[in-house]
Amino acid sequence: MNRVAMRWGYLYLIMLLLVSGIGLVAQKERAQLADYRARFSQLERERSMLLRDYEARLSNRAVARWAESQGMVPMSEGRWAE
């Protein structure tokens, strides 16, 4: 076999191994990216639930109910009670 053909054969083999290695790394990263996207969407759902809960607990009406249950008298009623 010709020396030039052997060199091209080795070069082809090295390039083939390099491309396969890059492909394996890309597949691994793609799987990780899918996991990250699933986790991100789960965290977004949890965040929206927590924000709704937060807003429900700290709305003006909810805070007023809590304050009245703790003994606060509204200003309009307290002023006339004197």
This prediction's pTM: 0.56
Tokens of 56: 């429900």
**Statement: residue 38 has pLDDT above 60:** yes
pLDDT of amino acid 63: 84
pLDDT of amino acid 78: 55
Question: Average pLDDT for residues 41-67, to the nearest whole number?
Answer: 91
**Residue 27 and residue 51: Cα distance in Å, rounded?**
36
**b vs e for 69-81, b when ≥16 Cβ sit within 10 Å of the residue's Cβ?**
eeeeeeeeeeeee
Mean pLDDT of the chain: 89
**Residue 29 and residue 12: Cα distance in Å, rounded?**
26
**Statement: residue 73 has pLDDT above 80:** no
pLDDT band at 81 (very low <50, low <70, confident <90, very high): low
What is the distance between the terminal CA atoms of the chain, rounded to a whole angstrom? 113
